[in-house]
A and B are shown apart, each in its own frame.
Chain A
Amino acid sequence: MSAAAALQLEGLRKSFGKTEIIRGVDLSIAKGERHAVIGPNGAGKSTLFNLITGRFPPTGGKVRLHGQDLAGLAPFQINRMGLSRSFQITNIFPKMSVFENVRCSLLWAKGYRYSFWNMVSKSRDLTQAADAILEQINLTERRELPAGVLSYAEQRALEIGITMAGGADVIMLDEPTAGMSHSETDYIVDLIRQVTENKTLIMVEHDMGVVFGLADRISVLVYGEIVATGRPEEVRANPKVQEAYLGAALEAEH
């Protein structure tokens, strides 16, 4: 609970009608940490993400980003404070070109704001930065294509690129490898490892291989409560986790 925590949740709650989805979550994520949130289906992982990023207002509790309370802030304001996220369902600008997608995600961070007196194509700095990101996410060859026609894995890579581009230091990824083949998963995991260097990463993920390979610490969310937080080997050994999560996973398999 140090003051330097990149992201801190205090007694966070959310109800939809009478149903309480998130029931008091306390979590502190240090700067530079790669943190994974796991849990069975319907545990409230995505809801937790949406609460942090201001997509839904919480029913109770607080979210602090670098010590600042995020209550009442709109997503674009939270983003400007240095938090960026991807989505469980691919969320890009399908009709715009791949390059255009990345360039748009750079505009605010590069200080262009709402200006209508700059020509975006004239800024060499902007073009180079966008091309550098395309290079990093391996999509240089797809530069001029509409983003909507890319393959699924490429779209996910693009989404990670967009999420990263603004230079946010807290990155939240919602199931970045969902629905991918093994080779695609390896590609994305490498990409995530590479682009989140020196950044704080919070991810929701189902693929245990990805989670145990990437995360420094893991939190297990079950029915809106965190039942365990710790290093991967501690979490794996925790009997509560085995009962609540791995047990459920085993049941589902049989």
Chain B
Amino acid sequence: MTQALHKSTHAPQGGITLASAMPWIISTVVLLVIPFVFTSNSAITIMNQMAITIIFALAYNMLLGQGGMLSFGHAVYMGVGGFMCVHVMNYVEDYSLPLPLPLLPVFGGLFGLGLATIVGSFSTRKAGTVFAMISLGVGELIAACSVIIVVFFGGEEGVSGDRTYGLPFFGVEFLHQIEVYYLIVFWLILSALLMYLFSRTPVGRMANAVRDNPERAEFLGYSARWVRFFSFCASGFFCGVAGGLFAINYEILTEENLNLVQSGSILLITFLGGVGFFFGPIIGAIVFTLLSTVLSLQTELWQLYVGALFLATVMYFPGGLAGVIMMHWPAFRLGNARMLVLPYIKTFIPCLIGILGTAALIEMIFHLRHGAVGDEEMTLFWTTFNVHAVLPWLIAIAITGAAFWLTRRNIPEVVDAWHRANSLPGAAT
């Protein structure tokens, strides 16, 4: 799916082809069907969060990946859009206005757009460090406002609303998570499609040009500043939409939706997924949401692992997870992808065991140091053992060591297979 999506960006010309529409059709079908596969309430809660994060990450990547602008305070556009939506929700309830809930994110979008227009008017003058610092400053400023302008931000407890206000929308009252899920999915598909189309417009194309070489873009008749400004405003709009959906889903917004932690994690998500491809942030949002929900139930140290994953991505795969996937495209096109399967299995399974072994050792150390007095038993990978005994340590160290030794031994094979898979038949490389 992802590969076809990338290919469509190179489709030579003309209207919509089946190949370029396919990823969208498949994603839509998957999104519609998936609640029947994962039916539990908690799964739907996770998927709601995932979908909102995807919109936010895609909007963020309009700046980072496509426009070359690194923003350190982007949570405020989503947050402020969300706050606005909660207020609209309450206002509509108080005055019984006929505003159906599914239209609410539009207000979030417009408010995000408005704020982005104001901030963008001075922050997009320069890219690079200047832009990053201004975005950081503005982000901090607005986050600080949350305890000052209590009437809008609700102080420390935030503002809350009730999404079941007013009349049912075609008989749907949005009482259940699943109803909210389909509302969010509708906005997810619409926003993703609009953001994708935006990247195909003249201003979207010039955003890439300005990212690569602002000076050259100026000598083509485009003001780099205006191009940045338009990208910034569009990004603000979709962040606001994500904020509106957040308001509908959680019915509460607090200072946490504005602060730097939130801004930092969206940068992390986008980078993890890969800034170079349109679908990169989608992968990032899915992986990150899964890690932060599922992994956090398993271990207190989940942030350590997410941090390590992020670090490894930045250092070894600057193209992110999407970059790793697209790296295999040439081999796939040459019909050589099969050559890679066996070496991958032989190397990455030991590697995975090694990583899990390392994680087990970290967990054991953590339990040894921080476990309650007398609580010497711990359960790891469905095995319960005494962490103060020597044997579990020996086993863990031995497995980890052996796994990494095996990985190391097999790496040349992967490298070799990689070269063979990526060379044309008969080429002497």
Binding site for B on A (CB under 8 A): 53, 55, 74-76, 79-80, 84-85, 87, 91-97, 100, 103-105, 107-109, 112-122, 124, 127, 144, 162-163, 166
Contacts and interface: CB of A to CB of B under 8 A. Distances in A.
Interface of B: 10-15, 197-198, 200-206, 208-209, 212-213, 215-224, 226-227, 230, 234
A124 B13 CA distance: 7
Q: Top 10 A-B pairs ranked by shortest CB distance?
A: A108-B221, A112-B202, A93-B212, A75-B218, A79-B221, A116-B201, A127-B13, A76-B218, A76-B223, A104-B209
Given A97-B10, A100-B205, A108 B216 contact: no
Contacts of A144: 10
Contacts of A107: 202, 205-206, 220-222
B234 A116 contact: yes
A95 B230 CA distance: 21
Given A104-B205, A115-B201, A120-B202, A76 B14 contact: no
Contact of B203 (A79, A92, A114, A163): A114
A114 B201 CA distance: 9
Contact of B215 (A91, A162, A163): A91
A122 B200 CA distance: 9
Contacts of A92: 213, 216
Nearest to A93: B212
B197 A114 contact: no
B203 A162 contact: no
B67 to A, nearest CB: 13
25 contacts: A55-B215, A76-B217, A76-B218, A76-B220, A76-B224, A84-B219, A91-B216, A93-B208, A94-B212, A96-B209, A100-B208, A104-B205, A104-B208, A105-B220, A108-B221, A114-B206, A115-B202, A116-B198, A116-B203, A116-B204, A118-B201, A119-B200, A120-B205, A127-B12, A166-B220
Given A91-B215, A93-B213, A107-B202, A121 B220 contact: no
Given A107-B221, A108-B220, A112-B202, 16 more contacts: A76-B218, A93-B208, A95-B208, A105-B220, A107-B220, A108-B221, A108-B222, A114-B202, A114-B206, A114-B222, A116-B230, A120-B205, A121-B14, A121-B200, A163-B219, A166-B220
B64 to A, nearest CB: 14
B13 A121 contact: yes
A208 B165 CA distance: 80
A206 to B, nearest CB: 22
Nearest to A113: B202
B221 A109 contact: yes
A119 B208 contact: no
Contacts of A80: 221
Contacts of B202: 107, 112-116, 118, 120
Contacts of A127: 12-13
B230 A114 contact: yes
A75 B227 contact: no
A162 to B, nearest CB: 7
A100 B215 CA distance: 17
B219 A85 contact: yes
A173 to B, nearest CB: 12
Contacts of B206: 104, 107, 114
Contacts of A55: 215
A26 B212 CA distance: 36
A103 B205 contact: yes
Contacts of A96: 208-209, 212
B201 A166 contact: no
Given A93-B212, A116-B234, A122-B15, A162 B220 contact: yes
Nearest to B224: A76
Nearest to A117: B201
Nearest to B213: A93
Interface-central residue, B11, B209, B218, B221, by most chain A CB under 10 Å: B221
A76 B230 CA distance: 16
A125 to B, nearest CB: 11
A144 B13 CA distance: 13
A230 to B, nearest CB: 30
Contacts of A115: 201-203
Contacts of A75: 215, 218-219
Contacts of A95: 208, 212
A131 to B, nearest CB: 9
Interface-central residue, B11, B213, B220, B234, by most chain A CB under 10 Å: B220
Given A121-B13, A122-B14, A91 B200 contact: no
Contacts of B203: 114-116
Contacts of B221: 76, 79-80, 107-109, 166
Given A107-B202, A119-B201, A120-B205, A74 B215 contact: no
Contacts of B13: 121-122, 124, 127
